[in-house]
Amino acid sequence: MARVLVTEKIADGGLDALRAAGHEVDVRLGLSPEEVVDAVVGANALIIRSATTVTPEVLDAGTDLVVVGRAGIGLDNVDVAHATARGVMVVNAPQSNILSAAEQTMALLLAQARNIPQAHSALVAGRWERSKWEGVELADKTLAVIGLGRIGKLVAQRAMAFGMRIIAHDPYVSPERAQAMNIDLVDLDQVAAEADFLTLHVAKTPDTIGLIGEDFLARAKPDLRVINVARGGIVDEAALATAISEGRIAGAALDVFDKEPTTESPLFGLPQVVVTPHLGASTREAQDKAGDTIAEQVALALAGEFVPFAVNVAAAEASETVRPYLAVGEQLGTLFAGLVAAEGLPSKIEIEYQGELAGYDTRILTLSVLKGVFSAGSDEPVSFVNAPQLAEERGIQIAESSSSSSIDWINLVSIAGGGHRIAGTLVGLRAEPRLVQIDGHTLDVPPSANLTLVRNDDRPGVIGRVGTILGAAGINIDDMDVGRPEAEGAGALMVISTREAVPADVAAQLEAADGIVSVIVIG
The residue from 194, 260, 356, 400 that is catalytic is: 260
Distance CA 421, CA 352 (A): 11
Q: Is 278 annotated as catalytic? A: yes
**In sequence order, what are the residues at sequence separation of 6 or more whose Cβ sits closer than 8 angstroms to the Cβ of residue 472?**
none
Name the 3-class secondary structure at 330: helix
CB 305 within 8 A of CB 66: no
Distance CA 510, CA 457 (A): 13
CB 339 within 8 A of CB 330: no
* 184-185 and 197-200 strand pairing: unpaired
The residue from 278, 421, 434, 455 that is catalytic is: 278
DSSP string of 420-465, one letter each residue: EEEEEEEETTTTEEEEEEETTEEEEE---SSEEEEEE-SSTTHHHH
Distance CA 4, CA 18 (A): 8
The residue from 70, 86, 231, 421 that is catalytic is: 231
Name the 3-class secondary structure at 505: helix
Peptide bond preceding 94: is omega within 30 degrees of 0, i.e. cis?
Answer: no
One-letter amino acid for residue 226 of the chain: V
CB 306 within 8 A of CB 293: no
Rounded to 5°, the CA angle 314-319-323 comes to: 85
Q: Is 260 annotated as catalytic? A: yes
One-letter amino acid for residue 43 of the chain: A
CB 273 within 8 A of CB 244: yes
Among the listed residues 51, 137, 103, 131, the one whose alpha carbon sits nearest the alpha carbon of residue 281 = 103
Residue 42 to residues 4, 60, 62, 342, 482, Cα–Cα distance (Å):
9, 11, 6, 35, 45
Catalytic residue numbers? Answer: 231, 260, 278
